[in-house]
């Protein structure tokens, strides 16, 4: 792929005249003014919004913001769940040359106060009156904040008049957004991402994946997270696709049947839950049929992966397996899904192979907020489970000291907002982003992430353990919902385990003693490929899942190990007595 961010961007043989992110909308309006752009539920029914409708709302809202004094480079904070209004506000600010500061709607008031003060946001856009009331607690302490806008009260009867002369003229190097990393410790840092950072990632994605105006996505990961924002919003807008918004995480299964998406973007946790549900519902004869079908599906997938035709008998068996099992699973995703995309956390190799056998490919990618966010991804026709795929076309990668993965490209951030020292720690003089992840790169360029450099567990005998690898393997068990491995400076590994109690009850493990004995066997079974020092020797069974509400997970569902460890330190210490 070759492109010039100073003028226009080109992707293979198709020219995209995008200089800034607002161009994604303006070009789609020219191409497909009456095509559905977005849809969200109102009173139980999805209400469509065409590209023309969206453009009119964006321009109207921009005039309103301009009337409040919002100008180029002003920071505007946006605190809302996913909705067409989120997109409207985002594009209006970007079109004005402003800087969008997204805030997770699950944030605490103190976290919101930190982001507002640190970014110097002049306007805060919230989704509901509830947040207007909550902001009153901190408003006096936010010196730059002049206005709070409630999206629930926006009438769309915006003021008439001309847009500012700088409307839609942001340059590719202009700052588009300050995205605060969720972080596992301390206050989040503001990642500065330019229009060009986002656009380079969008166009790399379009050169890697076959996406068009015919594609439909169901959006449920938070738009405040850069993964959903780039892959599930900007990339779809670039090709004039259609985005539906799920009502909530709890309704995703039902919304899949209504929306029938062609692409689904998620974190591994969703795929783990789908797998657990499939395995849990397979009882008696159905369980034997599923096991046989998976064996057939995996055997057939080996030939597909190599671009070869399956032997005649295997083809017949695969058709039977598809009719009995796989087609029913695919129907529950809406029936027209082309592929899944997975990011945000490691995807287990066995999990990828499980869905591949059913004709549902999961393309795992890898990145970070600081790279807008994608650095590498598996392709639909070129993938290896257990890896995060090949580097994006415009991104260079190499291994640095201690096998740390380094990345360089037009997607890499401008730096941390007002934190030059912290910026210098991760972004060197040659432009290499130090990811903090230990990795390996094979002869074909496929990247495998071992673990976070700072999260490696060093046992008392000096052996190093990558906790995410161990945790990911244990989570492939239908009986284990969540797990955190512990053992720093100890002689062996221990773990906190949240079981799948429904699956355990089905297996006959009801009492506390029976559950523990059952899980001990499951851990041994799932750890067969590990060295003895990588195997969990003792564990605690927890009755409640780790959650963002309790501060145990980041908003991107990563474990906050220090928080969890502090909470359960005493009972973990007892495992070493």
Which band of pLDDT confidence, cut at 50, 70 and 90, is reported for residue 15?
low
pLDDT (0 to 100) of residue 411:
98
Burial of 341 (0-12, 13-18, 19+ CB in 10 A): buried
Q: Is the dihedral of CA 119, 120, 126, 132 positive or negative?
A: positive
- Delineate the domains of the chain, giving CATH numbers in brackets: 21-170+209-262 (3.40.50.12780), 268-335+338-453 (3.40.50.12780), 456-574 (3.30.300.30)
Percent of the chain exceeding pLDDT 70 equals 97
The dihedrals phi and psi of 392, each to the nearest 5 degrees, come to: -60, 155
pLDDT digits (tens, 9 = 90+) for 253-285: 999 999 999 999 999 889 988 998 898 888 889
Instruction: Assess whether pLDDT exceeds 60 at residue 78.
Output: yes
Q: What percent of the chain has pLDDT over 90?
A: 80
| Mean pLDDT of the 461-479 span | 90
* pLDDT above 80 (res 8): no
Backbone angles phi, psi at 397, to 5 degrees: -135, 150
pLDDT of residue 2: 30
Query: What single-letter DSSP state applies at residue 562?
Result: H
Q: How confident is the model at residue 12 (pLDDT cuts 50, 70, 90)?
A: very low
Q: Looking at per-residue confidence, does 257 or 461 come out higher?
A: 257
Mean pLDDT of 195-205: 97
Give pLDDT, residue 570.
94
103 φψ region: left (φ > 0), alpha (ψ -120 to 50), beta (else): beta
**CB–CB of 151/125 below 8 Å?**
yes
For residues 33 and 37, give the distance between their C-alpha atoms in angstroms, rounded to a whole number. 9
Res 186: pLDDT: 62
Question: Taking a C-beta distance cutoff of 8 angstroms, is the pair 340, 271 a contact?
Answer: yes
Which pairing describes strands 536-541 and 493-499: parallel, antiparallel, or unpaired? parallel
Interval 307-349: pLDDT, tens = 899 999 999 999 999 999 999 999 999 999 999 999 988 888 9
Distance from the first to the final alpha carbon of the chain: 58
Average the pLDDT over each of 218-232, 316-330, 542-556 and give the range with the smallest value.
Answer: 542-556
**For the segment 100-155, what is each residue's pLDDT rounded down to a tens digit?**
999 999 888 988 999 999 999 999 999 999 999 999 889 988 999 999 999 999 98
Whether the Cβ atoms of residue 95 and residue 167 lie closer than 8 Å to each other: yes
Q: What is the DSSP letter of 534?
A: G
Give the H/E segment covering residue 405: strand 404-408
Tokens of 4: 């010039």
Q: How many CB atoms lie within 10 A of CB 155?
A: 5
Model pLDDT, residue 7: 36
CA–CA dist 286, 277 (Å, integer):
13
Report the alpha-carbon distance of residue 538 to residue 51 in Å, rounded.
Answer: 56
Q: 3-class SS at 510?
A: coil
Do 155 and 334 form a contact (C-beta atoms < 8 A)?
no
Question: What is the pLDDT at residue 551?
Answer: 87
The three-state secondary structure class of 314 is helix
Q: Tell me, rounded to whole angstroms, the distance of Cα 545 from its chain centroid.
A: 20
555 pLDDT more than 80: no
pLDDT at 542 over 80: yes
pLDDT surpassing 50 at residue 14: no
Please give the average per-residue pLDDT across 492-505, as a whole number. Answer: 94
- C-alpha 20/C-alpha 194 separation (Å) is 9
Q: How confident is the model at residue 10 (pLDDT cuts 50, 70, 90)?
A: very low
């Amino acid at each position: 792929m070759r492109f010039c961010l100073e003028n226009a961007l080109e992707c293979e043989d198709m020219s995209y005249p995008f200089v800034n992110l607002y161009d994604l909308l303006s070009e789609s309006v020219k191409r497909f003014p009456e095509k559905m752009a977005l849809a969200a539920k109102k009173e139980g029914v999805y209400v469509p919004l065409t590209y023309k409708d969206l453009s009119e709302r964006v321009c109207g809202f921009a005039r309103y913001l301009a009337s409040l004094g919002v100008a180029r480079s002003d920071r505007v904070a946006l605190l809302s769940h996913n909705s067409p209004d989120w997109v409207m506000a985002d594009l209006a600010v970007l079109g004005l040359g402003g800087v969008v500061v997204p805030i997770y709607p699950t944030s605490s008031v103190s976290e919101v106060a930190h982001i507002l003060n640190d970014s110097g946001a002049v306007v805060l856009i919230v989704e509901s009156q509830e947040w207007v009331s909550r902001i009153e607690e901190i408003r006096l302490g936010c010196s730059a904040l002049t206005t709070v806008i409630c999206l629930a009260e926006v009438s769309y009867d915006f003021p008439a008049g001309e847009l500012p002369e700088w409307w839609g003229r942001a340059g590719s190097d202009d700052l588009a957004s300050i995205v605060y990393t969720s972080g596992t410790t301390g206050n989040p840092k503001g990642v500065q991402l330019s229009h060009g950072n986002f656009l380079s990632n969008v166009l790399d994605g379009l050169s890697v994946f076959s996406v068009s105006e015919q594609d439909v996505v169901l959006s449920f990961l938070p738009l405040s997270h850069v993964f959903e924002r780039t892959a599930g919003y900007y990339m779809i807008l670039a090709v004039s696709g259609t985005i539906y918004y799920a009502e909530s995480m709890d309704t995703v299964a039902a919304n899949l049947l209504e929306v029938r998406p062609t692409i689904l973007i998620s974190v591994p946790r969703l795929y783990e839950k789908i797998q657990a549900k499939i395995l849990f519902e397979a009882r008696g004869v159905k369980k034997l049929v599923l096991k046989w079908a998976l064996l057939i599906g995996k055997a057939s997938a080996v030939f597909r992966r190599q671009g070869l035709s399956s032997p005649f008998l295997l083809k017949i068996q695969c058709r039977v397996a598809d009719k009995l099992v796989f087609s029913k699973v695919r129907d529950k995703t809406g029936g027209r899904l082309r592929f899944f995309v997975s990011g945000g956390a490691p995807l287990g190799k066995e999990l990828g192979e499980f869905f591949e056998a059913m004709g549902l490919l999961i393309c795992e990618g890898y990145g970070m907020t600081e790279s807008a966010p994608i650095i590498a991804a598996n392709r639909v026709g070129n993938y290896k489970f257990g890896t995060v795929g090949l580097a994006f076309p415009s991104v260079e990668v190499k291994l640095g000291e201690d096998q740390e993965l380094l990345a360089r490209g037009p997607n890499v951030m401008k730096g941390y907002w007002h934190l030059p020292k912290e910026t210098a720690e991760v972004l060197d003089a040659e432009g290499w982003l130090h990811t903090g992840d230990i990795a390996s790169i094979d002869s074909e360029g496929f990247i495998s992430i071992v673990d976070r450099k700072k999260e490696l567990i060093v046992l008392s005998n000096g052996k190093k353990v990558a906790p995410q690898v161990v945790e990911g393997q244990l989570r492939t068990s239908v009986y284990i919902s969540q797990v955190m491995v512990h053992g720093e400076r100890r002689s062996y590994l221990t773990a906190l385990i949240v079981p799948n109690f429904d699956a355990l009850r089905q297996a006959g493990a009801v009492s506390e003693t029976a559950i523990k004995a059952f899980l001990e066997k499951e851990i041994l079974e799932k750890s067969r490929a590990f060295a003895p020092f990588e195997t969990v020797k003792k564990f605690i069974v927890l009755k409640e899942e780790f959650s963002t509400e309790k501060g145990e997970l980041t908003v991107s569902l990563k474990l906050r190990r220090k928080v969890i460890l502090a909470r359960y330190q005493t009972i973990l210490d007892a495992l070493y007595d």
